[in-house]
């Protein structure tokens, strides 16, 4: 008489494959994007933190990622690093864009030096 393998042993590979697929899909969705666009909205000089499009505040991206700011306001603005490193400053006239590549992990606050109430934050993750 031949012995049949139990159902548990037959279903084990399927269960392992399901667990591996679930783990791999959840980790990939946690990866920060490689780039982000930030819009400086019309009337930005009077809006403080809301001077930047709300869906991009704070900006979160992977190390080596690039942030591009676009000025849709009628006034000139700057995007200036407010950390001790003072790593970047860009001036944006109406309709201009400017980009910065971020390689250092952590928080990178910035502001407009013309309208100091305009502040934003870039968070760089591994």
The domain that holds 101 is classified in CATH as: 2.60.40.420
* Helices (H), ranges, the chain: 7-29
* Predicted local distance difference test score (pLDDT) of residue 54: 55
- The angle subtended at Cα 57 by Cα 90 and Cα 81, nearest 5°, is 30
Poorest-pLDDT segment among 18-27, 29-38, 54-63, 94-103: 18-27
Considering the domain boundaries, does residue 2 fall inside one?
no
pLDDT digits (tens, 9 = 90+) for 28-49: 446 777 899 999 988 888 876 6
The pTM (predicted TM-score) of the whole model is 0.70
pLDDT digits (tens, 9 = 90+) for 72-94: 999 999 999 999 888 999 999 99
Q: Locate tokens 């979160």: which residue?
A: 60
* Predicted local distance difference test score (pLDDT) of residue 45: 82
Considering the domain boundaries, does residue 1 fall inside one?
no
Domain count, the chain: 1
Task: Give the closest residue to 100 by CA, choosing from 116, 84, 124.
Answer: 124
Cα dihedral across residues 95, 49, 123, 22: positive or negative: negative
Considering the domain boundaries, does residue 20 fall inside one?
no
């Amino acid at each position: 008489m031949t012995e049949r393998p139990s159902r548990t042993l037959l279903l084990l590979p399927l269960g392992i494959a399901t667990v591996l697929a679930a783990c791999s899909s959840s980790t990939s969705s946690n990866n920060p994007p490689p780039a982000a666009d930030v819009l400086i909205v019309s009337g930005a000089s009077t809006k403080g933190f809301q001077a930047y499009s709300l869906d991009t505040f704070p900006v979160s991206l992977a190390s080596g990622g690039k942030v591009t700011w676009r000025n849709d306001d009628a006034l000139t603005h700057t995007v200036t690093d407010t950390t001790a490193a003072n790593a970047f400053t860009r001036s944006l006239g109406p309709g201009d864009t400017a980009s910065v590549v971020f390689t250092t992990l952590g928080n990178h606050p910035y502001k407009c030096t013309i309208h100091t109430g305009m502040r934003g934050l870039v968070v760089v993750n591994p």
